[in-house]
Amino acid sequence: MSLNSHLWKIAVDAPIRYVLTYSTVGFEKDLAPGQWVQVPLGRRKVAGLCLGPATEADLNENFKVKSIEAIDSEYPPWSKPFLQWLDWLAQYYIHPPGLVASLALPPLRRNPNGKTRKSNRAAVIPVLPSEAPLQLNQEQKVVVDKIAQASGFSTHLIFGVTGSGKTEIYLQLLEKILDEGKTGLVLVPEIALTPQLIQRFARRFGNKIAALHSQLTDRERTNQWWDMVEGRKQILIGARSALFCPVPNLGLIIVDEEHEPSYKQDEKLKYNGRDAAIMLGKHMNCPVLLGSATPSLESWKNAIEGRYHLHQLKHRVADRSLPEFTIIDFKEKNSSNPESLAFSRAKSKESLPFWLSPQLHDALKFQLEQKNQSALFLNRRGLAQMVLCPDCGHTRECPNCDISLTLHANTHLICHYCDYHENFKTLCPDCREGELKPLGLGTELVETDLRKLFPEARIARADRDEIQNRQELEDLISQMENGEIDFLIGTQMIAKGLDFPKLKLVAFVLADVGFNFPDFRATERSFQLLTQMSGRSGRHVLSGETPGQVVVQTYNREHESLVRAQKTDFEGFAEQELLHRKALNYPPYGRLVCFRVQGAKLGEARDSVQALAQRAFALKTKFSAYDNLEILGPAEAPLSRIRGQFRFHLLVKGSQAQVLNQFCRQLVGDEKWFPHSVKVLVDIDPIHLL
């Protein structure tokens, strides 16, 4: 069927899973693929992205073809490779193509004068003294030379121990790209990693850098977007959403800390930023560089099987020492101390809190006396994870979520999922006799106890309660760099990417927190977190000097992730974990799709997921192409209710992505057979299964 120049395919900015066809009469000479237009949709006018001429087969006889109403001249037409990448995202992640395309637009219309509005906020890119390239060691030189020789698309995994100089490799490769007149894109997983990285890049590249992340205002993001699109800047640094900026003449994509689960978006378009970056590189025909001390098992398997180029950095720069591990077994501590973890509290100034071993106390005291810094890691916010009445067993739970409320400041209870608040009243509302007691441990309690034990110490806390915007994060990092903080207490916000010269002790207050999540990736995440957080310690200790310290308090010292992390043995860990995954056909051996069915009414949600499961089994029975697919469920999600929505999971496993994708499209269909109040969300390659 021949193309019709009067009919064009348009991806409209609306939740429609297919492209629509519009008449181009009056606009034929002005249209180009990648051009944004205004089109009618029902009784309203919406934005749409032109994909190219349609054929007669694209027409639907039941609908009258409407005409394009206007061309949006504000945005230049996007390139064909960028359009192909957007189409891949829509197809692979089963998401409306127009909604995918709209993510590539800046948040605001262009300011007529092209200038940033005045603001009291710090500059997006700081002006700093220039810094010359550092001298590479032999390992770094080999990596830079091999990657620099790559032409066209290829994927490279830099697997290097923490502190091995991966960032300097990024900088020198980007320098080569700029010399060739091309641009670079650098992705970091979280805003917490951005300030120090931006400073490092600003010292090297000055005003050639733009940044995109959630802590910028809409106007700042818009101006940074245009700086890249119009060529005023040549390097874009940002979180996963920076992928959607249509950067011209792209020559290199870098994904730092590629293993991080925060590269995966959990709402709306559920894409993985790392995988999307690799596909963008493929469409743009440029190299993609993945960096990590603890690669994801997906990337590691691709590397050892030759699909990615593997580059190893086995030593820290300048032969700096790796930290020394000490493991404190809490089971032994509790065998001589009958007080439970839940209810014990320091009885006097002389006794230690229940969470603090004498060994860790001594280590903290020593580093304080030496004027070094210490970081205490606990991936739990608040004062206590829950409150419980010992008399009747009542706990305070969120009315909107299937989760206990967390105690903060000993005054209020908060849900960390929907932000529900209520005042903390000690009298049990159930039995009216007992008193609610704090149960568990959080960063706020650690801070409170440390202030009592070390009144002379300068203590800071980094979690979502304390750090809520970019300026607060930058201030905290500056204080750590200037030596104005002795003890830093934090959640995973402090676990990755940060580099503090005086930090000599890293302590895991309770390493077991992540060991037993109901998720097949729990052990992998625990290993990554242990290794990454440990890597913050003693990064600037030279060979021959006293190395940094890592103290791990745990109830399970034999846990696989802890044993391997203590030995810095990623390869041994990966080999063992891959055996488990292969036996169960879990990623990276099998592909996984999670259907999350949720609704405000329990019965409707349950009936819908059961209907979805029946349809899935019927499809599998009917078509032989689906014989090898495995259907798991349906079952309640581990977090069965969030924000008033009852949640159920149906999992589908398979070995071929294309077959799995086709099955999912058939299974969901047009979704009209679900009640309007029920949502069916498709998560391709899920990272979290909670």
The string of pLDDT tens digits covering residues 332-387 is 755 444 333 433 333 333 589 999 999 999 999 999 999 999 999 998 888 888 89
Report the C-alpha gap between 189 and 191 in whole angstroms: 7
Q: Are the beta carbons of 308 and 156 closer than 8 angstroms?
A: yes
Q: What is the pLDDT of residue 194?
A: 67
Q: What would the two tokens of residue 100 be?
A: 């995918």
pLDDT of residue 342: 35
Phi-psi sector, 419: left (phi>0), alpha (psi -120 to 50), beta:
left
What number is the average pLDDT over the span 641-652?
95
Q: Which two tokens stand for residue 259?
A: 């293993």
Average pLDDT over residues 658-665: 95
Q: And the tokens for 278?
A: 């690799």
**Could you give the residue range(s) of every CATH 3.40.50.300 domain in the chain?**
138-317, 320-380+442-581
Are 428 and 435 in contact by the 8 Å Cβ rule? The answer is: yes
| CA–CA gap between residue 679 and residue 71 (Å, rounded) | 34
Contact 525, 487 (CB under 8 A): no
**CB-based contacts of 407, cutoff 8 Å, min separation 6:** 382, 383, 384, 385, 386, 387, 413, 424, 438, 442
* Backbone torsions φ then ψ of 95, nearest 5 degrees: -135, 145
Transcribe 340-358 into DSSP letters. Answer: -TTT----SSSSPPTT--H
Please report, as a single letter, which amino acid is at residue 484: E
What pLDDT was estimated at residue 299? 98
Residue 180 in contact with residue 103, Cβ under 8 Å? no
CA atoms within a 13 Å half-sphere pointing along the CA-CB vector of 684: 25
Query: Which parts of 402-481 fold into alpha helices (H)?
Result: 443-453, 470-481
For the ranges 111-115, 579-583, 594-598, 642-646, the lowest mean pLDDT is seen at 111-115
* Residue 186: both structure tokens together: 């650098």
What per-residue confidence (pLDDT) applies to 286?
97
**Secondary-structure percent of the chain, ordered helix, strand, coil, rounded to 5:** 35, 25, 45
SS (H, E, C) 468-528: CCHHHHHHHHHHHHCCCCCEEEECHHHCCCCCCCCEEEEEECCHHHHCCCCCCCHHHHHHH
Q: What is the pLDDT of residue 120?
A: 39
Residue 587 near residue 581, CB atoms below 8 Å: yes
Q: Cα 28 from chain centroid?
A: 43
663 pLDDT higher than 80: yes
Question: Among candidates 466, 470, 500, 467, which has minimal Cα distance to 483?
Answer: 500
Examine the pLDDT at 142 and tell me if it is beyond 70.
Answer: yes
Give me 591's structure tokens.
């592909």
- Considering only CA atoms, which of 415, 404, 410 is closest in space to residue 345? 410
Q: Between 61 and 164, where is the model more confident?
A: 164
Residue-by-residue DSSP string for 541-605: PPTTSPPPEEEEEES-TT-HHHHHHHTT-HHHHHHHHHHHHHHHT-TTTSEEEEEEEEESSHHHH
pLDDT tens figures, 277-313: 999 999 999 999 999 999 999 999 999 999 999 999 9
Residues 6+ apart with CB under 8 A from 614: none
pLDDT average, residue stretch 531-559: 87
- Residue 377 pairs with which residues in a beta bridge? 490, 508
How far is it, in rounded angstroms, from Cα 571 to Cα 495?
21
User: Residue 670's pLDDT is what?
Assistant: 66
User: Residues near 575 by Cβ (< 8 Å), separated by ≥ 6?
Assistant: none
CATH superfamily, domain at 591-684:
Ribosomal protein S10 (3.30.70.600)
Whole-angstrom Cα distance, residue 82 to residue 356?
A: 53
pLDDT at 116: 46
Q: What distance in Å separates the CA atoms of residue 48 and residue 10, rounded to the nearest whole number?
A: 6
The ranges of the chain annotated as CATH 3.30.70.600 are 591-684
Please name the fold of domain 320-380+442-581: Rossmann fold (3.40.50)
Maximal CA-CA distance, the chain: 86
CA distances from 10 to 7, 62, 70, 108, 455 (A): 10, 18, 13, 22, 65
Sorting pLDDT into bands at 50, 70 and 90, what band is 190? confident
Q: Mean of the pLDDT values across residues 56-62?
A: 64
The phi, psi pair for 67, rounded to 5°, reads -105, 150
Q: What is the pLDDT of residue 335?
A: 44
Backbone angles phi, psi at 563, to 5 degrees: -60, -45
Strand pairing partners for 421? Answer: 414
Q: What is the pLDDT of residues 144-172, one digit of tens each?
A: 999 999 889 999 999 998 888 999 999 99
CB 159 within 8 A of CB 295: yes
The H-or-E segment that residue 220 falls in is: helix 218-229
User: Which neighbouring-strand residues pair with 8?
Assistant: 22, 53
Q: Judging by beta carbons within 10 Å of its beta carbon (0-12, 13-18, 19+), is residue 364 exposed, middle or buried? A: buried
Q: Phi and psi for 141 in degrees, rounded to 5?
A: -60, -45
Q: How far, in Å, are 314, 316, 489 from residue 138 at the CA level?
A: 11, 12, 36
- Bridge partner residues of 593 (DSSP): 652, 684
**Distance separating alpha carbons of residues 63 and 168, to the nearest angstrom:** 58
DSSP 73: T
Q: Which of 386, 267, 263 is nearest to 643 (CA)?
A: 267
Mean pLDDT over residues 62-75, rounded?
87
List the alpha helices (DSSP H) in 253-296.
Answer: 273-284
Nearest one of 76, 12, 97 to 48, comparing CA atoms:
12
Measured distance CA(537)–CA(548) in Å, rounded: 5
Q: Which amino acid, 586?
A: Y
Q: What span, in angstroms and rounded, lies between the C-alpha atoms of 512 and 559?
A: 9
Cα angle 319-324-325, degrees, rounded to a multiple of 5: 145
For range 497-502, the mean pLDDT: 83
Contact 58, 21 (CB under 8 A): yes
- Report yes or no: 144 and 175 within 8 Å, Cβ to Cβ: no
What pLDDT sits at residue 127?
85
Q: Are 221 and 210 in contact (CB under 8 A)?
A: no
Q: Topology of domain 138-317, per CATH?
A: Rossmann fold (3.40.50)
Q: Mean per-residue pLDDT for 212-224?
A: 90
- Encoded amino acid at 95, one letter: H
Specify the pLDDT at position 119. 43
What would the pLDDT profile of 459-490 be if each residue is shown by its tens digit?
999 888 888 777 888 888 889 989 999 999 99
- Rounded CA gap, 396 and 387, in Å? 6
User: Distance between CA 234 and CA 231 in Å, rounded?
Assistant: 6
Q: And the tokens for 668?
A: 């969901």
Task: Return the minimum-mean-pLDDT range out of 231-240, 292-301, 488-497, 559-568.
Answer: 488-497
Gap between the Cα atoms of 253 and 230, Å rounded = 19
Between strands 373-377 and 487-490, the pairing is parallel
